[in-house]
């Protein structure tokens, strides 16, 4: 009988695409691969040759939903919070997100247990920021993937998660940590009690997800990772990058004598139409060729004559062909850009995007800008500085070469199979 692996990624394209890359390798090696996905994603993974097991994280909506529609709506409605300092985002954005995630984990727990009983997986691979008791209580070997910035794995010598604070300035760290604890401890304790009631162990102090006793993976290149004072346990393994195979892009992206830029704020960030259009208008006045991942609100965006774009683009096929990436700083795009050796201008919005933006700035592999308050000239200057920096091609080329020599998808597949 073939090995059966269940992947359970968060209902967003970044974590899902990471799991797809690993699933592609396992499937090629003869494994049966099943994705647990929200009903709004139905058909998305089947279209890539995988089995699907459908579930919901909340009661059905009155109207048909697009994939991940709940989070797209949530981001659009809370976009004013993204203009605030990160410590103020804790109450207006981060805390409500945790509440929604916890509510979803409660709602779906029985359905997950049903799915595991029906599919009978040999391994469950979970890529979520919140824990699901049904996974831990199943008695099946399970794998935790951390596909956010590794500051999610806390260390007292590193900046607080979601802060975007500098590594060499600790002046505000404790204030941020204290505010986070104040806002989240009651919810965390309540959710930990639910985990115990559902047959799982209590959650670690301050955490919303368990560490697997079997295997834990996190996604970040060794060249950009953080130096820890508390080493991770023996069950932790780093994946430098985790890039799925994508269909090649037809035709040429490059105009005569012009650099090529890639603009993507992710499926959630691009829901802010005003921000997207402002960036498009700025880049439309340049001599660059620009490829735009337009996202779910693509019909409301107007591209300039030096641009091409679609609602969704095969990012791993686009990145090798561009010179600079303009990104929201999602961990998937950051690690894929490094995989292909591309410098970044990072415009963070929420969650770990601030941490990735700061990390790229500190390491000189990109430029961090104030997403809503930067002037158009600042964006152009940042792009030009990255293009003319004589050290970047060599540094990024070295990182890219090391990542491509040891594909995270292959490493992860081998570790997962090694559990059986």
Tens-digit pLDDT profile for residues 106-124: 999 999 999 999 999 999 9
The average pLDDT across 22-33 equals 96
Q: Tell me whether residue 232 is exposed, middle or buried, using C-beta atoms within 10 angstroms of its C-beta: 0 to 12, 13 to 18, 19 or more.
A: middle
Same domain for 109 and 183, yes or no, is: yes
**pLDDT bucket at 65, cuts 50 / 70 / 90:** low
Q: Order of strands across the sheet with 260-264?
A: 307-310, 289-293, 260-264, 324-327, 344-346, 366-368
Rounded-to-integer distance, Cα 280 and Cα 412, Å: 37
Both tokens of 288, joined, read 């660059």
Q: How buried is residue 39: exposed, middle or buried, by Cβ count under 10 Å (0-12/13-18/19+)?
A: middle
- Looking at the structure, tell me whether residues 385 and 400 fall in a common domain: yes
Domains of the chain: total? 2
* φ, ψ (nearest 5 deg) of residue 46: -60, -35
Q: What is the mean pLDDT of residues 67-75?
A: 64
- pLDDT, tens digit, 9 for 90 and up, residues 180-211: 999 999 999 999 999 999 999 999 999 999 99
59 in a structural domain: yes
Contact of 164 with 357, CB cutoff 8 Å: yes
CA dist 68 and 267 (Å) reads: 9
| Per-residue model confidence as pLDDT tens digits over 330-340 | 999 999 999 99
Residue 249 lies in a domain: no
pLDDT at 114: 97
pLDDT at 363: 98
Residues 58 and 181 grouped into a single domain: yes
Return the closest-CA partner of residue 352 out of 121, 46, 129: 129
Residue 401, pLDDT above cutoff 70: yes
Contacting residues for 121 by C-beta, under 8 A, at least 6 apart:
4, 5, 6, 34, 140
Inter-axis angle of helices 273-283 and 376-388, nearest 10: 60
Q: How far apart are CA 117 and CA 120, in angstroms?
A: 5
32-38: strand order across its sheet? 51-55, 32-38, 4-9, 123-127, 142-146, 215-219, 236-239
- 3-state helix/strand/coil string of 25-89: HHHHCCCEEEEEEEHHHCCCCHHHCCEEEEECCCCCCCCCCCCCHHHHHHHHHHHHHHHCCHHHH
Indicate whether 313 belongs to any domain.
yes
pLDDT for the residue 295: 84
In a domain, 251, yes or no: no
**Contact predicate 161/331, CB 8 Å:** no
For residue 255, being part of any structural domain is answered with no
Nearest-angstrom CA–CA distance, 198 and 130? 15
Q: Residue 90 is part of a domain; what is its CATH number?
A: 3.40.50.2000
> What are the structure tokens assigned to 145, written together?
């993937």
The span from the CA of 216 to the CA of 335, in Å, is: 18
Answer yes or no: do 401 and 411 share one domain.
Answer: no
123 lies in the same domain as 228: yes
Examine the pLDDT at 250 and tell me if it is beyond 70: no
Residue 317 banded pLDDT, cuts 50, 70, 90: very high
- What average pLDDT does range 125-142 have in this prediction? 96
CB proximity list for 247: less than 8 A, separation 6 or greater:
314, 317
Statement to judge: residues 210 and 274 lie in one domain:
no
The whole-number pLDDT of residue 151 equals 97
Is 252 a domain residue? no
Q: Write out the residue range of the structural domain in which residue 390 sits.
A: 260-405
The overall pTM is greater than 0.85: yes
Residue 358, CB-side half-sphere exposure with 13 Å CA sphere: 24
233 in the same domain as 374:
no
Residue 360: CA atoms inside 13 Å, Cβ hemisphere, count? Answer: 37
pLDDT above 90 for 13: no
Report yes or no on 254 lying in a domain.
no
- Verify that 10 and 154 share a domain, yes or no: yes
Distance CA 112, CA 107 (A): 10
Please report, for residues 280, 298, 377, the alpha-carbon distance to residue 274 in angstroms, rounded to integers and kept in the order given.
10, 12, 18
248 within some domain: no
* Pair 237, 275 in one domain: no
Other CB atoms within 10 A of residue 324 CB: 25
Q: What is the mean pLDDT of residues 270-274?
A: 84
Same domain, 56 and 189: yes
pLDDT category at 72 given cuts 50, 70, 90 is: low
Mark whether 385 and 398 lie in a shared domain.
yes
Pair 220, 271 in one domain: no
């Amino acid at each position: 009988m073939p090995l059966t692996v269940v992947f359970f990624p968060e209902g967003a394209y970044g974590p899902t695409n990471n799991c797809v890359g690993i699933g592609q390798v396992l499937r090629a090696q003869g494994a049966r691969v099943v994705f647990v996905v929200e009903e709004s994603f139905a058909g998305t993974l089947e279209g890539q040759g995988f089995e699907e097991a459908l579930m919901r994280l909340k009661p059905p909506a009155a109207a048909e939903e697009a994939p991940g529609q709940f989070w797209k709506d949530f981001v659009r409605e809370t976009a004013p919070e993204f203009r605030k300092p990160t410590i103020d985002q804790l109450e207006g954005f981060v805390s409500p997100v945790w509440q929604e995630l916890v509510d979803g984990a409660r709602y779906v727990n029985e359905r997950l247990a049903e799915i595991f009983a029906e599919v009978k997986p040999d391994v469950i691979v979970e890529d979520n920021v919140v824990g699901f008791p049904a996974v831990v209580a199943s008695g099946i070997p399970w794998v935790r993937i951390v596909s956010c910035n590794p500051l999610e794995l806390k260390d007292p010598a590193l900046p607080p998660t979601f802060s975007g604070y500098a590594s060499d300035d600790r002046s505000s760290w404790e204030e941020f940590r204290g505010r986070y604890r104040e806002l989240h401890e009651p919810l965390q304790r309540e959710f930990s009690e639910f985990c115990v009631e559902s047959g799982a162990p209590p959650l670690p102090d301050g955490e919303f997800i368990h560490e697997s006793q079997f295997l834990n993976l996190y996604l970040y290149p060794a060249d950009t990772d953080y130096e820890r004072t508390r080493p991770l346990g023996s069950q932790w393994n780093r994946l430098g990058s985790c890039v799925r195979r994508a269909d090649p892009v037809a035709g040429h992206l490059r105009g005569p004598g012009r650099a090529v830029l890639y603009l993507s704020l992710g499926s959630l960030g691009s829901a802010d139409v005003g921000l997207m259009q402002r960036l498009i208008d700025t880049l439309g006045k340049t001599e660059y060729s620009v490829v735009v991942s337009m996202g779910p609100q693509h019909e409301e965006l107007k591209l300039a004559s030096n641009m091409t774009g679609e609602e969704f683009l095969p990012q791993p096929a686009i990145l090798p062909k561009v010179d600079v990436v303009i990104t929201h700083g999602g961990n998937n795009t950051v690690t894929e850009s490094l995989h292909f050796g591309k410098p970044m201008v990072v415009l963070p919005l929420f969650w770990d995007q601030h941490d990735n933006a700061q990390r790229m700035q500190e390491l000189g592999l990109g430029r961090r800008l104030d997403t809503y308050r930067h002037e158009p000239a600042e964006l152009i200057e940042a792009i030009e500085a990255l293009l003319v920096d004589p050290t970047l091609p060599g540094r990024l080329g070295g990182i890219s070469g090391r990542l491509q020599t040891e594909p995270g998808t292959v490493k992860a597949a081998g570790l997962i199979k090694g559990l059986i």
